[in-house]
Amino acid sequence: MDQHNSSDSLPDIERIPDTHFKSKRQIVFERNAKSGILGLLLIWSCIILIRTISQVTHPYGNSNNVGFQLPIGNVTKQGLLKVSMENIRNGTFQPQMHSLNWFHYADTDNEDRGFYTTSMNDSYVVKSVTDQDFAEVLFHGRYFTHDGKNFTVDEIIPSPDVKQLLIRTQTVKNWRHSVFGSYFVFKIEELSFVHVGDDIALAKWSPDADNIAFVQNNDIYIYSTKTASQLRRITNDGSAEVFNGKPDWVYEEEVLSSDTALWWSPNARFISFIKIDETHVREFNIPYYVQHENDIYPEMRSIKYPKSGTPNPEVDLFVYDTKEDSTYESKISNFYENPDFLLTEVTWIDGFNLIVKTSDRSSDCLKVVAINLSTKETTISREESSEGGWWEITQNTTPLLLNRSATKQESGYIDIIPIAGFNHLVYYPVKNSSGYIKLTKGDWEVIDGPSAVDKEYGRIYFIATRKSSTERHLYYVNVNNLGEIVEVTDTSKPGLYKATFSSSARFALLSYNGPDVPYQKIIDLRSYYTDSEVEGNVIGKTLYYLEKNVKLREMLSQYDIPEKSFQQLDLGQDESGNTILVNSYEILPNDFDPKKKNYYPVFFYAYGGPNSQQVLKSFSIGFNEAIASQLNAIVVVVDGRGTGFKGKAFRSLLRDRLGKYEALDQISAASFYGAKSYVDEEKISLFGWSYGGYLTLKTLERDSGKHFKYGLSVAPVTDWRLYDSIYTERYMHTPQENAAGYEESSVHNITSFNDVNRFLLIHGTGDDNVHFQNSLKFLDLLNLNSVKNYDVHIFPDSDHAIRYHNAGTMVYDKLFEWTKHAFTGKFIK
């Protein structure tokens, strides 16, 4: 019950004012007094209102924040909406993009009709780019029933002749690329299902569609689709420590970048596979705390993880002959004194010959091995030094069969090697020869090898940085006219393109990924006609658009997206007196006013790892744009020395000394921006994740608060002895060889962090990539050195991506709010 004033209980009678009983002087005096009180109340109300508004604009009321204001409202002066964190969370600006699984119908004529498989309206269908009305449904629905049980379709893999489907269900995620699941074969004509097996890690069709090679419990089996039964067991030694045909953790993460370590030969006779023995690799245990609500003890998971300088898994290549039911052991290990070498790529050149790339554990020396199954010989065809850099692991060797004479064909292949310091296409006409023919050259680089080969027209298509290292355009070179590079996409406009090709490379799905709104189109590259209006391709005719992202384009008209501009920053001179030019872009906040003085904060974002790239002219509206719009900050991204696609000399500088030049370049960029009249040099921050988290800490360590006042580090490496051997030693060699380099590259000068205003550390405890151990050791050093000016946010059981239990939302909210606190003065000492 509410409390009432006592007068409220009086009877309802007329009340006589007190003034009726007072003199005129008293009445005048009290009137004046009341007027004065009202005036004072009005003044105090205004003061309170002003202070309230000030608290909204300056929520922390810091006197050092004179003039700076967070944006008021979510609309710009032009009446357009601003980018918000809610936009980022719900994918407002995410374009729709599609993938096509190109194939060639074996029972059709040799004409390439551009067949592909795709999902449409809960159906898995065959389509043709030459006939948009053609659609053959292979499977309908997201579920199926077998032996009275219901299953959900997780993935469909068509056979090469597209008469059967391999369906995965009951999928369980393993590592970044790998899963386990149950597999069924669906026979399209019979509309019947056959169970292949459960807990299968990998399943691959043979090129003739008769068999499926699969891995179960780390052993390889062959399943026959003709007899609907297991045909053979190829290996018998699979275990928790021996992997056949399937990569272990480090080979999946750092070498093969996939779940596959077995490959059918083109003639379907042989299966090559890597055997990986982890017996001597040490274990790393990761506790999981919140997997089940009622668990009172953490769940412990063990992973074989080779840290820098510790034993690597031992590997070798085997080839199984299905006709002879025998296995050939290549014994590549005989070419190395130590068993810790790397086996990085396997490519079938033809039905009887393989090319295998290998290197020593520090990627100093590349050995290309040729295997001939006809003669059962394994030989070294090429042996090349990295010459001060390193051999980057690639998966882009492409077989190319050409007529070398009127009566003879040679099995050759296309590869990428450094030519005058830049990665270019070369052709090795003989599979076991070290002699090559240059296909491209110049001060630019080819990306990821050849995209496709059109044998009929002699064209080798590729994506390259020929116009700019921040763009990607499609070109081709003709093997019959070497030296002439032909532009396929329009280089007169900025562009970031990708392409996938039909079976003969006549048709392509051309994907434009920026800087404008992305689109996808199907083009006929052999057409004698060209488009009347150029958009994307300058060669070939557009058949139709697969995606225009019309809705996204219309919605963007309602928003004022912060302006992004690209530039090359001059960071001064290096130790040899050469000018340091780096790629960079900046995002200016809405309603940016360059006439303001000492006003705008600067939010640097960096990754900076060896051979990486962030400064690309792609379409992207994300966290950085939200920072610019909502916090009135200038966002800057700088690809400093060591990053990729600017030549070998630019990236190889990092060898044996990670963290030095990357940090110096971020500091130089901060100095450059801090000198701008409209920048508040007391509000410059740096944010990074993974290698970027490491770079954030190394930059703060080296800078000691001179330029960067704030830092946000997520999932950082803090000591390279704690990271995996294959990645780290490629750039640092082993700790035994480079002890001083490892010490200098670690985050070790802890007292320098005292001079930073404040920094934030975030990590997931279930990170199987960059172990939580890195942050714990760093926190221990902070404690030992009495450093207190930092905040920590830990995400239980989250892996490197930090998504578990709503962490994907929480982590960005935390980063955003923490940055807002920094820019509005809450952390000022």
Q: Where are the domains of the chain?
A: 559-823
Per-residue pLDDT, averaged over 793-803, amounts to: 97
Would you say residue 662 has pLDDT above 50? yes
Per-residue pLDDT, averaged over 204-217, amounts to: 96
- Name the active-site residue from 159, 411, 690, 713: 690
Our answer to whether residue 767 is catalytic in this structure is yes
Give the Cα separation of 29 and 269 in Å (integer). 113
Alpha helices in 632-723 (DSSP H): 648-652, 660-674, 691-703
Virtual torsion, Cα 125, 128, 133, 139, nearest 10 deg? -10
Which pLDDT band holds residue 386 (cuts at 50, 70, 90)? very high
Show the CA angle centred on residue 391, arms to residues 388 and 394, nearest 5°: 160
Would you say residue 821 has pLDDT above 50? yes
Cβ contact 60:824 at 8 Å: yes
- Name the active-site residue from 767, 768, 797, 799: 767
Give the Cα separation of 666 and 673 in Å (integer). 11
Q: In sequence order, what are the beta bridge partners of 243?
A: 276
Query: In terms of Cα–Cα distance, which of 640, 759, 660, 653 is closest to 702?
Result: 660
pTM of the entire structure?
0.89
Cβ contact 719:777 at 8 Å: yes
Q: What tokens appear for 269 in the block?
A: 């006779």
CATH architecture of 559-823: 3-Layer(aba) Sandwich (3.40)
Give the Cα separation of 744 and 657 in Å (integer). 7
pLDDT of residue 5: 37
pLDDT of residue 483: 79
Show the CA angle centred on residue 457, arms to residues 453 and 462, nearest 5°: 35
Would you say residue 672 has pLDDT above 90? yes
Would you say residue 36 has pLDDT above 60? no
Quote the mean pLDDT of the chain. Answer: 90
Our answer to whether residue 131 is catalytic in this structure is no
Would you say residue 20 has pLDDT above 90? no
Would you say residue 402 has pLDDT above 80? no
pLDDT of residue 109: 55
Our answer to whether residue 386 is catalytic in this structure is no
Give the Cα separation of 160 and 211 in Å (integer). 11
In the chain, % helix, strand, coil (3-state, to 5) comes to 20, 35, 45
366-375 pLDDT tens trace? 999 999 999 9
Phi first, then psi, for residue 297 (nearest 5°) are -115, 140
- Name the active-site residue from 424, 707, 771, 800: 800
Longest dimension (CA), the chain: 131
Which pLDDT band holds residue 48 (cuts at 50, 70, 90)? very low
pLDDT of residue 828: 84
706 burial (CB, 10 Å; 0-12 / 13-18 / 19+) is: middle
Residues above pLDDT 70, as percent of the chain: 90
pLDDT of residue 409: 58
pLDDT of residue 819: 98
569-608 pLDDT tens trace? 999 999 999 999 999 999 999 999 999 999 999 999 999 9
608-638 pLDDT tens trace? 999 999 999 999 999 999 999 999 999 999 9
Residues above pLDDT 90, as percent of the chain: 82
pLDDT of residue 422: 96
Would you say residue 814 has pLDDT above 90? yes
DSSP 79: S
Query: In terms of Cα–Cα distance, which of 659, 619, 628, 627 is closest to 641?
Result: 659
Per-residue pLDDT, averaged over 443-472, amounts to: 95
508-538 pLDDT tens trace? 999 999 999 999 999 999 998 889 899 999 9
**3-state secondary structure (DSSP) of residue 774:** helix
pLDDT of residue 431: 77
Q: Residue type for 564, please?
A: K
Which pLDDT band holds residue 60 (cuts at 50, 70, 90)? very low
238-288 pLDDT tens trace? 999 999 999 999 999 999 999 999 999 999 999 999 999 999 999 999 999
Which pLDDT band holds residue 408 (cuts at 50, 70, 90)? low
706-748 pLDDT tens trace? 999 999 999 999 999 999 999 999 999 999 999 999 999 999 9
Tokens 């009622």 locate to 294
Task: Between 430 and 350, name the one with better pLDDT.
Answer: 350
594 burial (CB, 10 Å; 0-12 / 13-18 / 19+) is: exposed
Per-residue pLDDT, averaged over 295-316, amounts to: 96
Query: In terms of Cα–Cα distance, which of 483, 484, 534 is closest to 510?
Result: 534
Phi first, then psi, for residue 65 (nearest 5°) are -100, 35
pLDDT of residue 480: 82
Q: What tokens appear for 198 in the block?
A: 């459960």
Which pLDDT band holds residue 13 (cuts at 50, 70, 90)? very low
Which pLDDT band holds residue 403 (cuts at 50, 70, 90)? low
**3-state secondary structure (DSSP) of residue 40:** helix
Alpha helices in 273-354 (DSSP H): none
In this structure, of 19-23, 253-257, 308-312, 369-373, the range with the lowest mean pLDDT score is 19-23
Task: Between 17 and 333, name the one with better pLDDT.
Answer: 333
Give the Cα separation of 271 and 226 in Å (integer). 19
pLDDT of residue 729: 98
Per-residue pLDDT, averaged over 77-87, amounts to: 94
Would you say residue 358 has pLDDT above 60? yes
pLDDT of residue 18: 34
Virtual torsion, Cα 313, 316, 317, 322, nearest 10 deg? -90
